[in-house]
């Protein structure tokens, strides 16, 4: 089962040519999940040929303009593509007030159901077949949430030689055992999945955090992530500015990634003071602390394979 990420925008505060405002899309089989929806989200979706009709849910970190200005267009456009399924919008307290005011002020024509969920930090926001999406409170100038998509545990490796030695015939019974169901043999014996499978394996984990200082519990929330997308808005020379504005430096993001034991760190939400060629300074400071750091770039595609 594929799990992949598309960077729709990587900038913070204001867009730049070639750098839309922060937005990340995760695709898991036929479902799409959007994390923040900054200005330029629609353009990036179109350039990547991604079908926004398939977006199941949108997860908003907070309601500062650079994280939500792409939302009106997404909502209105979805009315033009014959959307049938509900669209879920999850965010911090008052996200419902924001969505309602936006729909009312813009006199939006919406012909599908919008389900808004206000999430208190630490609560589970959304569940589906084989995954769950949860939140964690961040420390910013207004209520702000980090998000985590985590898959359920997977069955262990199937050992065909064990199945054969127990007399399980090839075919549907092997599939049933691999799916976690016991099978009954013609001689009356029952073979259980534990008889032919190895230890259960962990699913994949993706975490997204932006617009915060080093919030309590964030490292634990991101722990073990296969990919941790985290803001690295400033370099270390501007650490005081970052603290005043309730943002992270790239080095601070790297320290959180190291403490959390993540596999990879993707920096995002760069200050517009950094031209593209200057972003290497942020990356260099992060890699000194966490070598598996990289810069998120608009239109970038990242696969999240299973460990085994």
Catalytic residues: 66
- State both tokens at 127: 């569940």
> For residue 105, which phi and psi values (nearest 5 degrees)?
-65, -40
- Give residue 300's region: left, alpha or beta (phi > 0; psi -120 to 50): beta
Residues facing 294 on adjacent strands: 266
Whole-angstrom distance, CA of residue 51 vs CA of residue 32: 9
Residue 94 CB burial class (10 angstroms; 0-12, 13-18, ≥19): middle
Alpha helices of the chain — where are they, by DSSP H?
41-47, 65-68, 71-78, 95-105, 160-165, 172-178, 193-196, 218-222, 239-245, 250-260, 279-289
CB atoms within 10 A of CB 275: 10
Can you tell me whether residue 231 is helix, strand or coil? Answer: strand
**What value, to the nearest 5°, has the Cα angle with vertex 167 and ends 165 and 173?**
115
Distance (Å) of CA 193 to CA 146, 173, 182, 200, 308: 37, 10, 6, 11, 19
**Residue (of 51, 131, 55, 133) closest to 91 by Cα position:** 133
CA-to-CA dists, residue 195 to 156, 157, 203, 208, angstroms: 11, 11, 22, 38
Q: Check: CB of residue 289 under 8 Å from CB of residue 251.
A: yes
All residues at 6 or more sequence positions from 131 whose CB lies less than 8 Å from its CB, including other chains: 28, 149, 150, 151, 152, 203
């Amino acid at each position: 089962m594929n799990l992949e990420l598309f960077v729709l925008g990587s900038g913070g505060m204001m867009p730049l040519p070639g750098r839309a405002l922060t937005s990340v899309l995760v695709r898991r089989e036929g479902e799409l999940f959007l994390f923040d929806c900054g200005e330029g989200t629609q353009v990036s979706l179109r350039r990547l040929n991604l079908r926004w009709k398939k977006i199941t849910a949108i997860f908003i970190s907070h309601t500062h303009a650079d994280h939500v200005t792409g939302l009106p267009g997404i909502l209105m456009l979805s009315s033009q593509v014959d959307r049938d399924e509900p669209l879920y919008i999850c965010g911090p307290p008052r996200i419902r007030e924001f969505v309602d005011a936006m729909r009312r002020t813009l006199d939006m024509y919406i012909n599908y159901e919008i389900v808004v969920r206000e999430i208190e930090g630490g609560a589970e926001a959304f569940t589906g077949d084989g995954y769950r999406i949860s939140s964690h409170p961040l420390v910013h100038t207004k209520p702000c949430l980090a998000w985590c998509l985590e898959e359920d545990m997977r069955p262990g490796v199937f050992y065909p030689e064990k199945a054969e030695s127990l007399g399980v015939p090839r075919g549907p019974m092997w599939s049933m055992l691999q799916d976690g169901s016991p099978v009954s043999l013609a001689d009356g014996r029952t073979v259980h999945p534990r008889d032919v499978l190895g230890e259960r394996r962990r699913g994949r984990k993706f975490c997204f955090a932006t617009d915060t200082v080093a919030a309590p519990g964030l490292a634990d929330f991101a722990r073990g992530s296969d990919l941790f997308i985290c803001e690295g808005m400033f370099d270390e020379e501007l650490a005081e500015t970052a603290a005043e504005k309730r943002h992270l430096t790239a080095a601070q993001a790297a320290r959180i990634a190291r403490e959390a034991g993540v596999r990879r760190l993707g920096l995002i939400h760069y200050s517009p003071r950094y031209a593209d060629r200057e972003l290497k300074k942020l990356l260099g400071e992060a890699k000194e602390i966490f070598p598996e750091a990289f810069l998120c770039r608009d239109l970038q595609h990242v696969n999240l394979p299973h460990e085994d």
